[in-house]
């Protein structure tokens, strides 16, 4: 390893540790949760985003088998969950407390998007304990509870139906926290390394038009004996990737299908000619034996 490599590796380790350290200072607080299944789903949502600290404020039914069932593999988050009786206890040692609310602008708190909130969470979590607070399924957080929060977080859902399922809201907010944590870690280049998204083009061929083309391509490859005993699926997978990458429009598809139609026609002709040749080779050779009594050769 060169010195430069070592530096990059160290930076990476440092920032990954820093991100993990910050994640460990973020807790998710669920207040008065009614359905134990939602506690399990929330634990799973947190765990997939690298957050593990769950605090339950006076849950209505907990522990409960439904919580473990919905947590799937995230039982460890449930097992380590802390249970307290009031929100004040849950956030006593926090220096940033954000309340997530489904109802926009009814409260006298500054309101932030999950993304803006996550940036603040991750920055505060460098040194301080941070809480993300979620309310009850039926009634959310009450005013007294919101008073304990420094700011509100609102997911800009459809205003006509803005209340997400509790665990879905936890997922959205925790996802943004994770994106902010990953953003800290320049060495990870988690997004830059990804393949570019497919380009959208005006007049792009539809799924069905492309599948029609791929079907004909598969038939043509068979007809021209392209595979020669190799697995057809593997060639088709590679060909699909090539064509899907090139964002074909309908005219491209028509042109390519025209080429295939000609290849299929030629394959058919070659097949017919081969069959004729074989038929001739197999036919009995006319000989004097087939001449009839008066010496004329039969036939014609």
Contacting residues toward ligand SAH, per CB under 6 A: 100-103, 134-135, 137-141, 153-155, 157, 162-164, 166, 169
List beta partners, residue 82. Answer: 55
Burial 46-66 (b: 16+ CB within 10 A, else e): bbebbbbbbbbbbbeebebeb
User: In this complex, which beta carbon is closest to ligand SAH, that of residue 19 or of residue 51?
Assistant: 51
Contacts of 277 (CB under 8 A, 6+ apart): none
CA distance 225 to 93: 72
> Could you tell me the smallest distance in angstroms from the CB atom of residue 28 to ligand SAH?
10
- At residue 209, the 3 state secondary structure works out as helix
**Which spans in the chain are helix H?**
3-23, 36-48, 65-71, 75-79, 87-91, 114-124, 143-147, 166-184, 207-223, 232-245, 250-282
User: In this complex, which beta carbon is closest to ligand SAH, that of residue 23 or of residue 30?
Assistant: 30
User: In this complex, which beta carbon is closest to ligand SAH, that of residue 122 or of residue 166?
Assistant: 166
Strand order in the sheet with 96-100: 82-84, 53-57, 26-31, 130-134, 96-100, 151-153, 111-112
> Could you tell me the smallest distance in angstroms from the CB atom of residue 107 to ligand SAH?
10
CA angle (15, 18, 21) in 5-degree steps? 155
> Could you tell me the smallest distance in angstroms from the CB atom of residue 62 to ligand SAH?
16
User: In this complex, which beta carbon is closest to ligand SAH, that of residue 51 or of residue 153?
Assistant: 153
User: In this complex, which beta carbon is closest to ligand SAH, that of residue 138 or of residue 228?
Assistant: 138
> Could you tell me the smallest distance in angstroms from the CB atom of residue 43 to ligand SAH?
15
CA distance 286 to 299: 9
User: In this complex, which beta carbon is closest to ligand SAH, that of residue 101 or of residue 220?
Assistant: 101
> Could you tell me the smallest distance in angstroms from the CB atom of residue 79 to ligand SAH?
23
User: In this complex, which beta carbon is closest to ligand SAH, that of residue 135 or of residue 260?
Assistant: 135
> Could you tell me the smallest distance in angstroms from the CB atom of residue 141 to ligand SAH?
5
> Could you tell me the smallest distance in angstroms from the CB atom of residue 99 to ligand SAH?
7
CA distance 124 to 120: 6
């Amino acid at each position: 390893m060169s010195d430069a490599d070592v530096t990059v590796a160290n930076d990476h380790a440092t920032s990954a540790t820093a991100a993990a350290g910050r994640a460990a200072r973020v807790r998710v607080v669920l207040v008065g949760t009614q359905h134990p299944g939602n506690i399990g789903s929330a634990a799973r949502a947190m765990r997939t985003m690298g957050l593990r600290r769950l605090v339950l404020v006076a849950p209505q039914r907990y522990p409960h088998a439904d919580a473990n069932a919905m947590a799937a593999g995230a039982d460890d988050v449930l097992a380590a969950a802390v249970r307290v009786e009031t929100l004040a206890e849950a956030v006593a040692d926090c220096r940033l407390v954000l309340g997530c609310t489904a109802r926009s602008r009814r409260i006298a708190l500054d309101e932030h998007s999950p993304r803006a909130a996550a940036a603040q969470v991750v920055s505060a979590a460098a040194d301080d304990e941070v809480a993300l607070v979620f309310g009850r399924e039926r009634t959310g957080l009450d005013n007294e509870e919101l008073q304990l929060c420094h700011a509100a977080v609102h997911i800009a859902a459809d205003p006509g139906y803005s209340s997400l399922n509790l665990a879905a809201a936890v997922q959205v907010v925790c996802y943004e926290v994770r994106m902010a944590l990953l953003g800290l870690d320049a060495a990870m280049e988690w997004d830059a390394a990804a393949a570019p998204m497919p380009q959208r083009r005006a007049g792009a061929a539809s799924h069905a038009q492309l599948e029609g083309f791929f079907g004909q391509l598969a038939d043509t490859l068979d007809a021209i004996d392209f595979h020669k005993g190799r697995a057809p699926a593997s060639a088709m997978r590679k060909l699909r990737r090539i064509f899907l990458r090139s964002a074909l429009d309908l005219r491209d598809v028509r042109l390519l299908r025209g080429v295939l139609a000609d290849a299929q026609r030629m394959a058919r002709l070659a097949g017919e000619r081969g069959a004729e040749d074989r038929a001739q080779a197999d036919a009995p050779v006319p000989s004097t034996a087939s001449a009839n009594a008066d010496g004329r050769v039969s036939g014609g």
